[in-house]
Structures are given as C-alpha cells and as structure tokens.
Structure 1
Amino acid sequence: MSGRLLSYCRFKTPDDKEGKPHGGSRKFVYQEGEHINNTQSTEQKFHTFIAMAGIKALVGLSFSGAIGLTFLLLGCALEQVYWPLFVLIFYILSPIPTFISRRLSDDTDSSSNACRELAYFLTTGIVVSSFGLPIVLARTSTIQWGACGLVMTGNAVIFLTILGFFVVFGGGDDFSWEQW
C-alpha cells in the first residue's frame, strides 16, 4: 500500500475469544495520491511555530519550578520543621532588582550601566542568602543536613528556572505578552 496513512482502526473478528484484551484485526486506511494541501501561508506557520515555542518554554519552566518546590517541601517534610520555607521570600525578591533596572535603564550607550550593575549585585546577594539560610539552619541543628541538601537542591532548580525565564522571555523588545 502506498500513500499517506489517514487512520488506524481495530475491529472485532468472529474468531476472537472473550476476555482477550487485545483481540481483533487491524485495518489501515490510506489516502492514495497527493498529500492534502495545507492552506496556511509560510508567515502564518512561522508565527504558529514561534507561539508554540513560547508555550513549550513556559510549560518547561513551570515543570522545573514545580520540581524545585517539591525539593523544598521534601526538605521541610523530612523532619517536619518548616523553617526552610523562608527561602520563598528570596525566590520572590530575586527578580525584583532586575525588573526595576530593566524598566529604568537606558540602553542607548554601549558602556556598562550602573543601575543594571547594582541590580546584578543585589540579585547576587539575595541568591547567596538563599543558599546560606539552610546552611545556617543546619549548623545550628534546627534542620538536618539531609534537609539542608534538599533545600539547596530546590534553590538551585528554582533559581535556574528564574534565570531561564529571563533568558527565554526577557531577551528583547520583540516579545509581547499578547501572544498568550
């Protein structure tokens, strides 16, 4: 048989036995000749591709954020001490300096921007503090070292997710929230 596979059907034959989970014959339906013409223009296909790439990136970032929060909650549930949840404050605070600097900075000059450099400095301090909090809690025996490791793994995954968000969605002016 030649042509494009249109569908796959399963139908029951008279010699099938009861209780047989995958009984029946298979039938393939083919279309002979040319493929069905696609009415989308190349530009429409490109915009659909770009929109799907953005959605796939958003789904991937959501998935990695969920994994990071799972590590954080596992670290808290290990000993049923919930002090490590204070790193959630650092997750919320970490992108704020970058958002502010991108809003206030002027990209007309090619030299280093003081506002953006200050934002990077503050963001680095917030990220280092979020890794330091579980270590301090473990050193004071408030949490176990295993919980500290799980919280720090969650920190790494969450901050890589935040970085991924800025890489994927913060690159240029051509991005528009209207595509969602």
Structure 2
Amino acid sequence: MECNKTLATLITMAFTAAIGVLLLFVGCAVTFPGEKPGLLGYNWWGVFMILLYMMSPIPLGLARCCKSRDAFSSESLSILLDISYFLSACIVVSGFGLPLVLARQSVIQPAAGAMIAGANIFAFGTVYSYFVFFGHEDEWDWSSGNF
C-alpha cells in the first residue's frame, strides 16, 4: 500500500513539473498579438528561471544532509535550518519577482511574464511537495544492522 502511495505521489509531482516547464517554454516561445516585442524581439529571457528551479532545493537539501550528522548541536542545527529556509525563500521570491521586473522593464512581454509566473507556481510547488512528502527521516540507519 505504501508503494502505491509513493508511486502516485511521484507521478503527480512529475505531472506538475511537466506543466510548469511547458508553461515556461510556451510563455517564452509565443508572441502575443497587439504587444510590442521585448528586447531583441524575444521572450527567451524567462528561460533563466530554470536556474532558479534548480537552485531552490539546494539549501534545504544541504540542511537535511547536515541534520543527520551528530557533529551539530541542537542550537547550531536550528540556525542552519533557519538559514536554509531563508535562502530557499529568497530564491522563490526571486523566481516570482524576476518575470515581473523583466515585464515591467519591457524586456519580455507582460503576457509572457504572466505565463512564466504561472509556471513558477507549478515548479516551486513541485519542489515544496517533494520536501513535504519525502522530507521525513527514515527509521532505518546503519547502526540497526538490518541490511
């Protein structure tokens, strides 16, 4: 039963990530009638959002890795978790702010910025759901002897 739940969760996350990437590329590729073209006539500056999508889970993943080590006291672990939450929040806010700034400065078309912002909801939602569903600690460890 647990395997089916995990498989359904993975399929759902893959589907939402695919929708996010699709919206991102459609927002970059489509030119909308009645709007002046952006810088160089392209909306492809939004593709840089992929870098933010890849960077968003790094602070939380590193904090999760260090959380399992015995070298950290509870106070330093709390500080590490707070810093990782802050850095992840900065990346997500930058992800939503970048298309708005690009659209405001007429680098991309406003409709493309809106589609990229919609893609952000799906992409960052997928990263968040990964840490919600798979972020818990396993009961198994090396000292248990269960190989």
Judge same fold: TM > 0.5, yes or no.
yes
Cα distance, 1:144 vs structure 2: 1.1
Report the Cα distance in structure 1 between the residues aligned to 2:112 and 2:136, rounded to whole angstroms: 35
Report the Cα distance in structure 2 between the residues aligned to 1:59 and 1:125, rounded to whole angstroms: 28
What CA RMSD, in Å, does the superposition of the two structures yield over aligned residues? 2.2
Report the Cα distance in structure 2 between the residues aligned to 1:153 and 1:143, rounded to whole angstroms: 15
Report the Cα distance in structure 2 between the residues aligned to 1:174 and 1:143, rounded to whole angstroms: 49
- Give the equivalent residue in structure 1 for 2:8: 56
User: Structure 1 or 2: larger helix share?
Assistant: 2
Picking from 73, 77, 97, the partner of 2:25 is 73
Matched, 1:125 2:93: no
Corresponding letter in the other structure for 1:157: F
- TM-score by length of structure 1 reads 0.65
Cα distance, 1:167 vs structure 2: 0.8
Report the Cα distance in structure 2 between the residues aligned to 1:157 and 1:137, rounded to whole angstroms: 20
Cα distance, 1:165 vs structure 2: 0.7
Between the aligned residues of both structures, percent identity stands at 36
Corresponding letter in the other structure for 2:48: F
Picking from 82, 89, 106, the partner of 2:51 is 89
User: Structure 1 or 2: larger strand share?
Assistant: 1
Report the Cα distance in structure 2 between the residues aligned to 1:114 and 1:157, rounded to whole angstroms: 29
Picking from 141, 145, 170, the partner of 2:106 is 141
Q: Gaps (5+ residues) in structure 1?
A: 1-48, 176-180
Cα distance, 1:87 vs structure 2: 0.6
Q: Gaps (5+ residues) in structure 2?
A: 32-41, 141-147
Cα distance, 1:112 vs structure 2: 7.2
Map 1:1-180; keep pairs closer than 5 Å: 49-79=1-31, 80-105=42-67, 109=74, 113-174=78-139
Give aligned pairs, total.
128
- TM-score by length of structure 2 reads 0.79
Choose 1 or 2 for highest CA Rg.
Answer: 1
For CA contacts below 8 A with separation 6 or more, give which structure has more relative contact order.
Answer: 2
